[in-house]
């Protein structure tokens, strides 16, 4: 009887421990996987940050003209880059800050209908003085673009300024929904990247380096400890070469 009681007690304690592990382990694994996905998305975007025009008078990384990775007003991280294979060109006439039509010339000749600028995409406009803006394209023709109505741009641009199809995205944490969000700055549309993110901190440990620290919290079980992940990125387009 005594042996049986002892054995049963030992087994019971093992069962209780096993149940606890079986409940906590999936939550911990889920947290780890969320961290991998979030850091992968951030690392991919940061690796493209600052990619500029491939040809033309303003060819080269955007970091030669302005900072393509910057803190946003709402505590996030805003990233600028020219998309791969996207239309690139120059303004052929001055573009006042409030103008919605631009005259352009493409860097690479475009004969087919599948190349050149396209409607419902984002154009980055920048020049040698550090001015940079974005505009949503409403309509595109071989020699000109019509932008969607929006607040006036920060600068007026002279002929010769660069214009290229690209992306401007802000990553921030919404404390209410505890989500890491990615916002398209041209459309204002936000999409969630990861759930259960409580905080994001950004610092710049050295020139050309960005450290993003994310704190993930468990969804259900408080017993699972928070997970803090730091992504120490050296975006290739921000390096001196």
Partner 1 sequence: MAVLSVILATTLLMGLGVSIVLLGTSEAVLAAHDRASRALREASMAAVHLTVADLRRQPSWSAVLGAGVGPISAQPGRLTEASLTLVPPWGGPPLDLRQSTVDVQAAADTGSGDPQVWRLYECGPLSRVVPAVSVPPLFVAAWVADDPADGDGDPLTDSNGILAVYAEALGPANSRAVTAVSIRKTAPPGEAAEVRILTVRPRP
63 scored as a contact of partner 1 (CB under 8 A): no
Work out whether the CA dihedral 137, 55, 57, 129 comes out positive or negative. positive
Smallest gap from residue 40 Cβ to partner 1 (A) = 7
d(CA 175, CA 205): 25
In 3D, which of 236, 229, 124 has the Cα closest to residue 173?
Answer: 229
Work out the end-to-end distance of the chain between its first and last CA atoms, rounded to an integer number of angstroms.
Answer: 79
d(CA 34, CA 178): 13
d(CA 78, CA 196): 21
191 scored as a contact of partner 1 (CB under 8 A): no
Structure token pair of residue 56: 């033309």
22 scored as a contact of partner 1 (CB under 8 A): yes
Residue with smaller CB distance to partner 1, 50 or 153: 50
What H or E segment, with its residue span, contains residue 30? helix 2-48
Selected from 51, 69, 131, 210, the binder of partner 1 by CB under 8 A is 51
32 scored as a contact of partner 1 (CB under 8 A): yes
114 scored as a contact of partner 1 (CB under 8 A): yes
d(CA 214, CA 96): 40
Stretch that binds partner 1, among 83-91, 175-183, 201-209, 222-230 (CB under 8 A): 83-91
d(CA 22, CA 29): 11
Residue with smaller CB distance to partner 1, 152 or 191: 191
Selected from 60, 75, 160, 208, the binder of partner 1 by CB under 8 A is 60
Selected from 71, 115, 198, 227, the binder of partner 1 by CB under 8 A is 115
> What is the contact surface with partner 1 in residues (CB under 8 A)?
4, 7-8, 11-12, 14-15, 18-19, 21-22, 25-26, 29, 32-33, 36, 40, 44, 47-48, 51-56, 59-61, 82, 84-85, 87-88, 106-112, 114-116, 236-237, 241
């Amino acid at each position: 009887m005594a042996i049986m009681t002892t054995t049963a007690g030992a087994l019971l304690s093992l069962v209780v421990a096993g149940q606890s592990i079986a409940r906590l382990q999936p939550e911990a694994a889920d947290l780890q996987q969320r961290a991998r996905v979030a850091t992968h998305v951030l690392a991919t975007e940061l690796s493209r940050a600052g990619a500029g025009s491939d040809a033309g008078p303003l060819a080269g990384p955007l970091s030669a003209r302005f900072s393509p990775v910057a803190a946003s007003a709402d505590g996030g991280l805003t990233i600028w880059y020219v998309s791969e294979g996207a239309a690139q060109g120059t303004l052929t006439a001055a573009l006042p800050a409030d103008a919605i039509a631009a005259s352009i010339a493409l860097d690479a000749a475009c004969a087919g209908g599948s190349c050149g600028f396209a409607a419902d995409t984002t154009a980055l406009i920048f020049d040698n003085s550090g001015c940079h803006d974005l505009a949503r394209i409403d309509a595109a023709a071989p020699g000109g673009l019509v932008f969607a109505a929006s607040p006036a741009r920060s600068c007026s641009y002279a002929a010769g300024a660069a214009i290229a199809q690209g992306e401007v995205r802000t990553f921030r944490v919404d404390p209410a929904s505890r989500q890491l969000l990615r916002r398209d700055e041209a459309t204002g549309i936000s999409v969630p990247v990861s759930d259960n993110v409580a905080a994001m901190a950004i610092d710049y440990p050295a020139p050309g380096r960005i450290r993003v620290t994310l704190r993930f919290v468990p969804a259900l079980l408080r017993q699972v400890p928070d997970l803090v992940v730091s992504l120490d990125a050296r975006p290739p387009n921000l390096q001196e070469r």
